[in-house]
A and B are shown apart, each in its own frame.
Chain A
Amino acid sequence: AQSVAQPEDQVNVAEGNPLTVKCTYSVSGNPYLFWYVQYPNRGLQFLLKYITGDNLVKGSYGFEAEFNKSQTSFHLKKPSALVSDSALYFCAVRDLSYSGAGSYQLTFGKGTKLSVIP
């Protein structure tokens, strides 16, 4: 079974400061990892993904994420936060090695609310 944990329900950061939103995962094989952002009254939007290769992945809106296999983590980062980054962020995992029924299922974390304070 695959699972995702986002240990922080809320993260507050001052505008201009670096931000980190944490994510850890559990899969039996190799993971495909994704970050999504949800703005109020909108669906989830894809930010970035890790498939293989470089552990630092760059995505939309200046976000990046670092894959750490030994710590089974995939933390989302941004060097300088903007007020417009305030939103709900979801980490998600898909098990590359699983080929049975439901193998395309994407398992989401519970979400982390990011508030960027002016």
Chain B
Amino acid sequence: EAQVTQNPRYLITVTGKKLTVTCSQNMNHEYMSWYRQDPGLGLRQIYYSMNVEVTDKGDVPEGYKVSRKEKRNFPLILESPSPNQTSLYFCASSFQGAKDSPLHFGNGTRLTVT
């Protein structure tokens, strides 16, 4: 089954404790992206990747890191989480070659930073 898999689904952590949210897709998509969803703000892009070893900032990259060492994986790293990073996070992927290609989303990771 074609899918984007995020782990974990739920994560509670404390301020300053490094964490990684994993994302993997099995559709051979070049383009991958991370979004955060907050009430009243919709979805905002954090980082995206056009292909292996090619990443760039989205609209709200502060406090986050990403890497793209393999085509299928695109982990999101919070080196020193803070309470304002409490949010619902989504990973998404699509074919790069066509701008009409819709994004495929994972089921989300709900992060709470205390």
Q: Mark A residues whose CB is within 8 Å of B.
A: 9, 32, 34, 36, 41-46, 49, 51, 90, 94, 96, 101-106, 108-111
Tell me which residues from 97 to 114 in chain B have a Cβ below 8 Å from any Cβ of chain A: 99-100, 102-108
Supply 11 A–B pairs (Cβ within 8 Å), ascending by A.
A32-B99, A32-B100, A43-B105, A43-B107, A44-B103, A101-B56, A104-B96, A104-B99, A105-B45, A105-B48, A110-B40
Q: Contacts A103-B99, A105-B48, A111-B42 known; A42 to B107 CB distance under 8 Å? A: yes
Majority SS at the chain A contact face: loop
Query: Which residues in A have their C-beta under 8 angstroms from that of B94?
Result: 104
Number of chain B residues whose Cβ lies closer than 8 Å to a Cβ of chain A:
27
Which residues from chain B sit less than 8 Å from chain A, CB to CB?
4, 31, 33, 35, 40-45, 48, 50, 56, 58, 90, 92, 94, 96, 99-100, 102-108
Q: Which residue of A lies closest to B30 (CB)?
A: A104
Question: Do B103 and A46 touch across chains, with their CB atoms under 8 A apart?
Answer: yes
Say whether A102 contacts B48, CB under 8 Å.
yes
Q: Which 10 A-B pairs have the closest CB atoms?
A: A43-B105, A110-B42, A46-B102, A108-B43, A44-B105, A51-B100, A43-B107, A108-B42, A43-B106, A111-B42
Q: Is B106 in contact with A49, judged by CB distance below 8 angstroms?
A: no
Q: Judging by beta carbons under 8 Å apart, are B107 and A90 in contact?
A: no
**In the bound complex, what is the Cα–Cα distance between A34 and B45 (angstroms)?**
16
Flag if A102 contacts B56 (CB, 8 Å): yes
A96 surroundings in chain B (CB, below 8 A): 99
Instruction: List residues of chain A with CB within 8 A of the CB of B103.
Output: 36, 44, 46, 106
Tell whether A46 pairs with B108 under 8 Å between CB atoms, given A96-B99, A104-B31. no
